[in-house]
Structure formats: C-alpha cells, structure tokens
Amino acid sequence: MRQFSTLPRTLPALFFRFLKPYTWYLAGMVLVSLLYGVHSILLPFTLKILVDRISISHVATPGLFAALKWPAIGYVALSLGLGLLFRFYNFLMLRLLPNLKRDVQHAMFVQLEGHSHSYFQNQFAGALSNKVSDMVRGVSEILQMFMSCCVDPVLSISVAIFAMSRVHPLFALIFGVFSVVFISLSWTLAQYCQPLASAYSEARSTTVGKVVDSITNMMNVRLFARHEFENRYLGRYINDVVAKDRRMQRYLIFARLALVLCITTMLAFMIWALIWAKSEALITAGDFVLILTLTHRILDMLWGVTNQFVQFSQEIGTCKQALTIITQPHEIEDHVDATRLQAQQGQIQFQGVGFSYGNVGVFEGLDLTIAGGSKVGLVGFSGSGKSTFVNLILRFFEVQSGQILIDGQDISRVTQTSLHEQISMIPQDTSLFHRSLLENIRYGRLDASDEYVIAAAKQAHCHDFILKIPGQYEALVGERGIKLSGGQRQRIAIARAILKNSPILILDEATSSLDSVTEAHIQSSLHDLMQNRTTIVIAHRLSTLSSMDRLLVFDQGKIVQDGTHDQLIIAPGQYQKLWSLQANGFLPG
C-alpha cells in the first residue's frame, strides 16, 4: 500500500498524485479512446461505400454481391471490434479503479490521523467519514466521467473533423465551430454549477453528522423525551439540503436546455449544408450518409455528456468541498529532524511553558520538574488546568512558549508516535473499538500472545466478567464499547495499559466508574503498575491520592501548592480547603 505525505489541496494536483503510478493504464485508456474515435469514422465510411456502390449499381447486376461483400464484412467486423475494444477498456478500468480507491481511502485516513486533538473536537465523526467516502467514490467517478465526457468526445470530434474535411471543408468548418462553442459552453456552465454542488455537499455532510450525533445520543433523547425536538432540529438541516439540492437542479435544467439548443442548432446547420452540397453535386449519396451518420454519432455522444453533466459537476464540487476539510493544515506536525523519544527514567520538565485556548489563558511561564519514577497527583476544581497539563505532555496541543522535556528531550523535536509509545493513558471516559474484547486489550501491545492478554485482563480484574459474556474474549463490545458498563470499559482500559507497559503512566479518573469493592481490587493492580514508572494521577477523590509521592494543587492555571498529602493536609491553603469540603473523599466539581 502506497504511503503519501501531506496531500495536495487542489483536485488537479490530487489526481496527478494518485494517477501517476498508473500511467500505463491511463495510456491504454487514451489509446482505446483514440481507436474508438477512428472506429466512429470507419463504420460510417463502410456504410458510405455500401450506399455509393448500391446507388451506381443495378439491383439485378450479377456483380452487386461481389461489390458489397467486403464492405459488408468490414461493417460487421467493425461492430464486433467495437465490442472487443470496450471489453479491453473495462479490463483496464478493472485493473486501475480498485487500486485507485484503495490509495485514496488510505491517504485520506492518513491525512485525518495527522490532525490535532482540537480538529476532531470541532468536527463530526460522521461528517468526516462521509467526506472520506465522498472522495473515494468521487475520484473514481470523476476519472470515468472525464474519460467519457472529455477524452472520448475530443478525440472522436478531432477524427470526425478530419474525415469531414476529406469530403468537403464546409462540413469540417461547421462541425469544428460548433464543437468549440459546445465545449466552451459546457465548461462555463460547469464552473457555475460547482459552487452549487459544493454547497449541497456541505449541507448533506453536515446533516449526516447531525444524524450520527443524534443516534449516538439516543439515550439522552429518550431520557429527556426530546423526540419531537430532535425531529424539528434535524428537519431544519434536512430542509436546507432540499433547498440547496433544488437550487442546483433548477440550474441544471437551464444548463441542459442551453446545451440542447446548441446541439439542435448545429444539427440544423449540418442538414442544410448537406442538402445544399448534394444539390450542387459536390457530394455523393454515400458522402451524404457518411456526414449525417458521423454527425448523429458525435451528437449522441455529446448528448450523453450533457446527461452526465449533472453528476460530473456534483462530484467535482463534492470532492473539492471534502478536500478543503480533510486537507486543512495540520496544527501539530513532526519536526523535519524529529527523532525517536528514548525514555529511560521518565523525568518530565516544564520550562517556561505558556498556553491558552484562544483568548483564555491557562498557563503562563510554568516551571516544573517531575522526577522519573515518582507518583504525582493533580488536584483542583474542574477548569483549573489539570487536563490541559496532561494534554500538553501528550502533545495533543502545542505549547505557545517554553518547552516540555522528557528525559532532557524536547517533545516538540521527537516524533509524536514515539512520544505516545512511551506513555500509557487511562482516560476518564473510556472509548473502545467495536471489535472483540481480545482485540481491544491487545491494542496496548499488538504482538502480545493470547496468554499475555489474558494475564493482563486478570490483573485488571476483567477476566471473571469476560468469561460470563457470550463469546467471552471473542465477544464484540459494540460501538464505543456500549455493550459494557462504564466500570467494565474502565477495567478493559486498565488491562490495555498494563499490556502496553510504558515508562510513563497517566490516570485521569481511572477508577471513577468502579464500585468500591472493584476499586479496592483495581487499586492494588494500579499500585503494582505504578512501580518504577513516572505516574501522573488526576482524581477528585482525594483519598485515592494520599499515597502519592507528591501532590500538585492547581488553581486557574497556577500550581498553588506542592507537597505530600501529610504536608498539605496540615498547611493552610487550597488543599486543606478541598479536603474539608469533600464528603467521603469526593471533591465537588
């Protein structure tokens, strides 16, 4: 499978990138189009010979059959050749299109993977998936329609003009002028149609995203009895799609009408010219049939182009719109000289780090060192900066000043892949793939054997409940793991982290979805997991942080207290206040 770097942001450049490896297939397709153009002349030419020989021979002449035999055989052979030519064209398409679709789909996904955390926060997953599908389908459709709407007609028209010029220059002139007018008119109409198609595509993708969002939150819709509200809410977007589709279709009716009038005018001129030339004895009856047959064949081809005009314009507009969204510049990219992170001790340093969300400042000149192998708890009300602190270590967001070092290595100068390989993260809201339990746990270490996966599951206290599920380790968990309870999903995430075995461990409310008995078991597993690892723990239950080597108390982006639980509990300040406010170790958000 081919690997691509950052994708071009224009359709012509994109097509050049993807089609370059298949030059020979394209050359074969162009050759077929050229042969088709030649065929479009030879078939009417054999008909011309037949008509001319019939018109100058008497029906009873014994030599009539001999005179018509070879032109007739040629006419039949050309009809057979056309069928074989199209089958060869189909063979080339069969070799090209599946590979092209694979390359496009893979490249689109790789491009999406490179986007930052904030990009996915601002996009609907359903809409992005829809845009990838649009590109995969659109590139294939555009290529096929380009061959049938552009290459085939241009080559056929060129050959037809040459053949007409051999009969009489007048016919070549009429056909040539018409062809220029028709192609120019088609191009102009297509340019006006593409913005309408792009607007329709954007509205359709947005609606798909809204529908997926509502389906994902169907439990909320039911719990709040908001069925009618969702119907009205989605109805506005659906009506917008209908309005933009109607606007595009209205324009296409006008465009098709203009092209029909153009074709009819040309046909009228050609018939007039043929009648005039025959009346002046400038052409034979066979010439009359040749020119008229050629004209009809090419006009039928051009009428087919007008029928595909709708889809061609729509596919171009759809692909342009999808390309604009997917190929937005990556906010966070690996440095050109990025190296792999080599984390041994797991020491983390913040040196003068500044960060803000737009105009909302979070950190300003933050200096901090977390010793390798230490266990650090992060404390503070929601919005105090704890999650941002962790996200910056993971480089989900780029620091705006200063730097973050892991074992003396600037994380902005190492590859993101190697950075994430050295960090195990257990988030508060665990999301699983709609795959088997075995696959979800093994995601922490892809080469792990089944025995290692099961051992990690036992350590995370997953094994017992997995054995009770039909299918056990092969059971599918549903989209985002919906078939499992919150606590079960959390335990799968812990098993996955145990299997990954990274030198840095981050726990973001990792036991918040567990009952007290299970949490007690998990805490012992987590305690073992934390040994000899740099561990950062976010927890609202302060009692779970009492065994940490160090606690950092956050308040509005500042670390206002730093010490052990025993030190902070007796020192006047934020931590003492939080401890006194909570009931049974729970910190109000």
Q: HEC string of 298-348? A: HHHHHHHHHHHHHHHHHHHHHHHHHHHHHCCCCCCCCCCCCECCCCCCCCE
Laid out side by side, the sheet with 504-508 consists of 423-426, 504-508, 534-538, 375-379, 550-555, 558-563
Two tokens, residue 338: 């990025």
Residue 134 CB partners (closer than 8 Å, separation 6+): 201, 205, 318, 319, 321, 322
325 pLDDT above the threshold of 80 = no
Q: Does some domain include residue 43?
A: yes
- Average pLDDT for residues 149-163, to the nearest whole number? 76
- Please tell me whether residues 370 and 320 are part of one structural domain: no
For residue range 535-562, list pLDDT tens digits in order.
898 877 777 787 888 989 888 888 888 8
pLDDT at residue 56, rounded to an integer: 65
In this structure, of 301-305, 376-380, 467-471, the range with the lowest mean pLDDT score is: 301-305
Same domain, 360 and 315: no
In a domain, 5, yes or no: no
The encoded tokens of residue 205 equal 């993708």
Whether residue 16 lies inside any domain: the answer is yes
Strand locations in 528-578 (E):
534-538, 550-555, 558-563
pLDDT bin (cut points 50, 70, 90) of residue 53 is low
Please state the length of the chain. Answer: 589
Question: Is the same domain home to 229 and 271?
Answer: yes
Residues 307 and 251 in one domain: yes
Nearest to 434 by CA among 483, 469, 473: 483
Judgement on whether residues 522 and 439 belong to the same structural domain of the protein: yes
CA distance 299 to 98: 32
**pTM of the predicted model, to two decimals?**
0.62
Quick check: 4 pLDDT over 70? no
* Structural domain for 400, as ranges: 348-581
Is 4 domain-assigned?
A: no
**Which of 70-74, 342-346, 364-368, 397-401 is predicted with the least confidence, judged by mean pLDDT?**
70-74
Question: How many CB atoms within 10 Å of residue 574?
Answer: 18
**Do 133 and 37 belong together in one domain?**
yes
Q: Is the residue at 256 inside a domain?
A: yes
Q: What percentage of the chain has pLDDT greater than the value 70?
A: 86
Whether residues 139 and 169 fall in one domain = yes
**Predicted confidence (pLDDT) at residue 66 exceeds the cutoff of 70:** no
* Average pLDDT, rounded, for the chain: 79
- Percentage of the chain beyond pLDDT 90 is 2
Residue with tokens 């409940």: 465
Looking at residue 531, which CATH number applies to its domain? 3.40.50.300
Q: Tokens representing 492?
A: 């799968």
For 472, which DSSP code? G
Give the pLDDT score at 584. Answer: 44
d(CA 209, CA 205): 6
Total number of domains constituting the chain: 2
Copy the structure tokens of residue 111: 């491009």
Mean pLDDT of 209-231: 77
Predicted confidence band at 98 (pLDDT cuts at 50, 70, 90)?
confident
If DSSP codes are grouped into helix, strand and coil, which group holds residue 54? helix
pLDDT at site 242: 92
| Pairing mode, strands 550-555 and 375-379 | parallel
- Asked if 385 and 556 touch (Cβ cutoff 8 Å), the reply is yes
d(CA 560, CA 385): 12
Measure the CA–CA gap between 21 and 159, rounded to whole angstroms. 29
> Cα–Cα distance between 288 and 166 in angstroms, integer?
13
Q: Does any domain span residue 307?
A: yes
Most confident of 109-113, 520-524, 559-563: 559-563
CATH code for the domain of 128: 1.20.1560.10
Together in a domain, 293 and 441: no
Is the torsion defined by CA of 289, 292, 295, 298 positive or negative?
A: negative
Residues 353 and 299 in one domain: no
* 337: in domain: no
Inter-residue contact 71 to 51 (CB < 8 Å): no
- Give the CA distances from residue 494 to residues 24, 343, 487, 509, 558, in Å, rounded to whole numbers and listed in that order: 52, 21, 11, 12, 30
294, 326, 358 — which closes off a domain?
Answer: 326
**Domain identity same for 319 and 465:** no
Residue 391 and residue 256 in one domain: no
Asked whether residue 342 is domain-assigned, the answer is no
Query: Same domain, yes or no, for 314 and 427?
Result: no
Res 571: pLDDT: 83
